[in-house]
Amino acid sequence: MRIQHPVAAILSRAAIAQDEVTGDGSCSALAVIGEIMRLAEPLINECIHPRKISAGLDIAREWTLDYIDKSAITLDIKIEKKDLLLNIIKGVIATKIEPFLVEQMSEAIYNSIYCIRPRTETAKDPSSLIPLDLFMIEIMPINIGIKPEVNFIKGMVMDHGCRHPDMPHELFNCYIFCCNVNLEYERTEVNSSFLYSNAKQREQLSRSERLFIDNKVRKIIELKNKVCTKKNQKNFVVLNQKGIDPSSLELLAKEGIIALRRVKRRNMERITLCCGGSPVNSVEDLDVSVLGFARKCWEVNYEDQKYTFVEVDGDPRSCCITIQAPFKYQLERCKDAIRDGLRACRNALIDKKLLPGAGAFEIAASEHLRSRLKKENNPKTITGIALFADALLTIPRSLAKNSGLSPNEALTAAQLAYRQAIENDNGLDNKYFGINLDSIEPINPIDEGIWDSVTVKKQLVSLSTTLSSLLLIIDEIIRAGKIVKNDKLQQ
């Protein structure tokens, strides 16, 4: 059994927490923590106590969080501002996927966010609405194709199909019947026995049990015949959370009904939000009000796997994003990018504030810490504040390095442009300069529409400084224990 190093366990849990809370910034947090530890090592070797560095990091955290609150740009961020939200999404996913997928994926993410938006016009108290419920978006990976492809489905996709060969594979204008009814032989949940004295009684018992199941199916067929006539040319789809045996499938197939069994519970909840209607647990007293409606329902075979698509018109409250890729690692990478884009969009809609991206915030925050450091008189905290100011620059330096540029030249050019803008006092929107991935010349991320989330940056600053302080102090405690142990051995 492999035992994980305690420090590695702390860092991995920190990255997971950062991703779960904000949806982005886990790599940046680990990069900043690693840079703090790298810069702290020579200071500790020069007999600077880790407590001093930790105290400085605590003050640097408070200063940086205060700077975020003051420098964050307040914008009128609404779900209708498509161009702004697309820029926010692209800023998050562009570094995680292939360039040709950015436009396609950002459009799919925006459409899904718009689909599940809170409906203020139907709410009695708009202030009590949940901003966005991202669980209403199903992400369906499909391992097929030559290159990755992402599509938005205004409806739902299920990773299985109907189990009868005579059932239709495509229907238009469908009534959707969602149920949780057992349409196969039931196993008793308690210990029981059926006694019979001859073969005739056994046959009657089997026939009565079959009749009980068939009556359930006939009631569903009666509801279908009631709402689907030759004049209206409507069709019928049954989605059952429990099983359907072959005899029941045969009866449904003769009526031209698409029937799916073992539908996942989470999909049943989403389908009712897509198509309307309500799921039922019994076939007694069925009414038209329990039915939903879909524009089209069809089945697709990808090699050995079947997928059922349910597409609706109107304004559904749930939707699906499909990912097609030939390799599983591509599916996972696209899936993570979609989740990050969804959370970034949600954070922007909640915060109503944004920070400039492309490493511009880190450069500005580093310069701000250094300017305040000149007024700091406490020698115990100066070292930690300066260390954190240098550690923040690892993010723009990494952006330049990953794009094939000289990190020092690109960072120096952006810092010089920022300092000149501060000296000239050109205003708030013109003083931010970030890393240009195409050349050494810096760019204004606000003009380019490159944004970072306020929530992500706050979490990054808090997490990196807190964990770094913890690791520095733990390291000192371990060293002290080794020294005591060596002294005892010498005695």
Residues 59-73 have pLDDT tens digits of 888 989 988 888 888
Distance CA(162)–CA(165), nearest Å, equals 8
Q: Which pLDDT value is given to residue 128?
A: 41
Q: Which pLDDT value is given to residue 94?
A: 83
Q: Which two tokens stand for residue 221?
A: 């067929």
Residue 425 has pLDDT above 70, yes or no: no
Q: Which pLDDT value is given to residue 196?
A: 64
Residue 465 has pLDDT above 70, yes or no: yes
List, in order, residues 6 or more apart from 414 with CB less than 8 Å away.
359, 360, 363, 396, 433, 434, 435, 442
Residue 357 has pLDDT above 70, yes or no: yes
CB 218, CB 257: distance < 8 Å: no
Residue 237 has pLDDT above 50, yes or no: yes
Q: Give residue 453's pLDDT band: very low, low, confident or very high (50, 70, 90).
A: confident
Q: Which pLDDT value is given to residue 127?
A: 45
In the chain, the domains with their CATH numbers are: 6-75+359-490 (1.10.560.10), 155-315 (3.50.7.10)
Q: Give the angle 105-107-112 at the CA atoms, nearest 5°.
A: 95
- Greater model confidence, 193 or 55: 55
- Separation of CA 298 from chain center: 27
Burial bucket for residue 449 (CB in 10 Å: 0-12, 13-18, 19+): middle
Q: What is the mean pLDDT of residues 232-256?
A: 88
Q: Which pLDDT value is given to residue 415?
A: 85
- Starting from the edge strand earliest in sequence, which strands make up the sheet with 451-453, in order? 73-74, 353-356, 451-453
Residue 200 has pLDDT above 80, yes or no: no
Q: Give residue 321's pLDDT band: very low, low, confident or very high (50, 70, 90).
A: very high
Residue 188 has pLDDT above 80, yes or no: no
Q: Which pLDDT value is given to residue 428?
A: 46
Distance CA(105)–CA(98), nearest Å, equals 10
Residue 3 has pLDDT above 80, yes or no: no
pLDDT tens, residue by residue, 98-121: 888 889 999 999 999 988 887 765
